[in-house]
Structure 1
Amino acid sequence: MTRPLNLLIVESEPEEARDARRGATGRSSGETYVETLKGLAPGARFAIHRPQEAGRPPEALDAYDGVFLTGSPLHVYHDNHAVRANVDFMRAVFDAGLPSFGSCAGLHIAVAAAGGTVRRNPDGHEVGLARRIVPTREGTRHPMLDGRPAAYDAPAVHGDEVEMLPENATLLAGNAASPVQAAEIRCGAGTFWGVQYHPELPLDQLAQAIRRQADGLVERGLARDEADVEAQAALFEALGREPDRLDVAWRLGVDREVAEEGRRTAELGNALRHLIAPERARRGRG
């Protein structure tokens, strides 16, 4: 009898940020990952681990089939306990040969663990959407981006970016705001796939993230006032409720890559099928 898929969600979100996010959306970043992955991997088992709060996950690493690293406000160029704990844990994941995937800060943690660097984006935040992401030549052939078109948009909320990829990394996609939007990293015995954007994020939670950035958006001139921010957030909520609303998609300037959940979560489904499943089979677990 095939045992259920066993996935570890690594949440680097600090406690205060986690509480604030739950207050706004009802879920922490790790809990959002679990809910999204449940739709892609019915019957899977999930555990959430926070390296900055607990030294060991619920089971030994080799008990898991794959690892997913969430986004968070963590800045990996800061030298503090939370950063060291998450980077050290990711090094253990690489050493264990576990296939892994991460978004936003999850990508940054893997980059730092493998020897690359991350910085504050000198051009400012991407808030709402990462626009016109273009796969590289390698990206057009890479299974993580299977099904993505020649250019696409994706939910994004970040102020940091990858400055330099580590050795044994492959750039898979970028855009004008952040040259590294998707990458593969091979380190030790492990393979990591990561994106700067948020394929796990439902549009209603993206709307709440935009609201939480209201002051910064006004300060940067991206919105005239909080009413502008609220109007933009409300459009994302409306599209999340009714993905077929062409009028809302037109006002946001998006297509089905953002509107349809199955398109928005493409990288997660690809990671489950093309990264985690083959390694699970190789280990005789599936």
Structure 2
Amino acid sequence: MSLRLLVVASETPKQRDARRKSVGQSSDETYADTLRALDPSCDVELVSCVDGDKGFSLDELAGFSGIIFAGSPIQMQEKTSETRSAAAFMREVFEAGTPSFGSCAGLQIATVAAGGTCKARDDGMQAGFSRGIVATPEGRTHPMLNGRPLSWTAPAIHSSVVDRLPPSATVLARTNDTPVEALEIRSGSGVFWGVQYHPEIAIGEIAASLRRQSDELVEEGLAADPGAVDAYSRVLETLDADPERRDLAWQIGLDDEVLAVEKRTRELRNFLSYLHERAVA
């Protein structure tokens, strides 16, 4: 059975255009292409939850097989028209009962919509990769993380984290400096699976994002100067083009959990499998 999927953007029009200039696509467009590559039979629609794009009634939201929230620079700890709009959209998704998934900002939008809170990350920006992710006891048996090893690395770029969980949440994975790397939220009639990292993006897009935020990385002390950011980004781009460059992978500490598409996208693949199983149940 073909899945009907809705990808939700939380980038503003200006942010979407900036990302298109950097990597050729906005975050939701990247997500849509990743989903189509994982399941060529799926039908994907796009909508924004922050810029006044067309909305959907509860019945229309319930008609989708799954709803996926893409990442963005939105800061859910701030009180803005965008954050209020995003949380309101997610509450409607919960009410509609359609299973949902989110990466990075998507996880934080769902957290706030269900009654939790977010905050700025204590250690500043996480840029490039989240390393040493481990599943909680609940996560070790959760279908979203099926196939992940005891510890793994994943693409990640974010400056805020979940601070207080909603009452309906279960933490599925964490790192030493990010207390919620993966979770499940049950709210209303809906269930949400989310990760703080980015299983949907290739490391070439991480390279472009680092370049786009080069000045901020220098200010935070993560790079000595823009040239250092560019040099690291060039290594990532080379690896993206040739994942068999084991010498480069060794130098920056990456393995197949990042470099192999079928492993990097594991949470998304597991979510799509869940949707297919639900469709035929």
TM-score of the superposed pair, with normalisation by structure 2? 0.96
Deviations 1:90-139 (A, max 9, x none): 11110111000000000000000100110111111110000110111111
Structure-to-structure mapping, 1:61-210, within 5 angstroms? 61-210=61-210
- For 1:219 and 1:176, how far apart are their aligned partners in 2? 23
For the aligned residues, what is the CA RMSD? 1.3
- For 1:140 and 1:226, how far apart are their aligned partners in 2? 40
CA apart distance, 1:10: 0.5
Q: Which residue of 2 aligns with 1:225?
A: 225
Deviations 1:150-207 (A, max 9, x none): 1101000000100011112110000022110000000001100000000011111111
- For 2:80 and 2:125, how far apart are their aligned partners in 1? 23
Moved segments of 4+, more than 3 Å: none
- For 1:280 and 1:192, how far apart are their aligned partners in 2? 17
Q: Given that residues 99 and 279 in structure 1 are in contact (C-alpha distance below 8 angstroms), is that contact kept between their aligned partners in structure 2? A: no
Q: Does 1:211 align with 2:206?
A: no
Q: Does 1:247 align with 2:247?
A: yes
In structure 1, the gaps of 5 or more residues are none
- For 1:83 and 1:221, how far apart are their aligned partners in 2? 29
SS in 2 for 1:60: helix
| Letter of the 1:83 counterpart | T
Q: Given that residues 184 and 192 in structure 1 are in contact (C-alpha distance below 8 angstroms), is that contact kept between their aligned partners in structure 2? A: yes
Q: Which residue of 2 aligns with 1:260?
A: 260
Q: How many residues align?
A: 279
In structure 2, the gaps of 5 or more residues are none
Q: Given that residues 47 and 54 in structure 2 are in contact (C-alpha distance below 8 angstroms), is that contact kept between their aligned partners in structure 1? A: no
Q: Which residue of 2 aligns with 1:278?
A: 277
SS in 1 for 2:173: strand
- For 2:244 and 2:67, how far apart are their aligned partners in 1? 33
- For 1:73 and 1:251, how far apart are their aligned partners in 2? 29
| CA separation of 1:57 and 1:237: change in aligned 2, threshold 3 A | farther
CA apart distance, 1:55: 4.5
| Letter of the 1:278 counterpart | E
Deviations 1:27-56 (A, max 9, x none): 000000011111111121111111222241
Q: Given that residues 27 and 71 in structure 2 are in contact (C-alpha distance below 8 angstroms), is that contact kept between their aligned partners in structure 1? A: yes
CA apart distance, 1:279: 2.8
- For 2:108 and 2:64, how far apart are their aligned partners in 1? 22
Q: Does 1:54 align with 2:53?
A: yes
- For 1:133 and 1:104, how far apart are their aligned partners in 2? 14
| Letter of the 2:81 counterpart | H
- For 1:23 and 1:269, how far apart are their aligned partners in 2? 28
Q: Given that residues 31 and 70 in structure 2 are in contact (C-alpha distance below 8 angstroms), is that contact kept between their aligned partners in structure 1? A: yes
Q: Does 1:237 align with 2:237?
A: yes
- For 1:143 and 1:215, how far apart are their aligned partners in 2? 39
Q: Given that residues 125 and 220 in structure 2 are in contact (C-alpha distance below 8 angstroms), is that contact kept between their aligned partners in structure 1? A: no
- For 1:226 and 1:86, how far apart are their aligned partners in 2? 33
- For 2:120 and 2:148, how far apart are their aligned partners in 1? 28
Percent identity for Structure 1 against Structure 2: 45
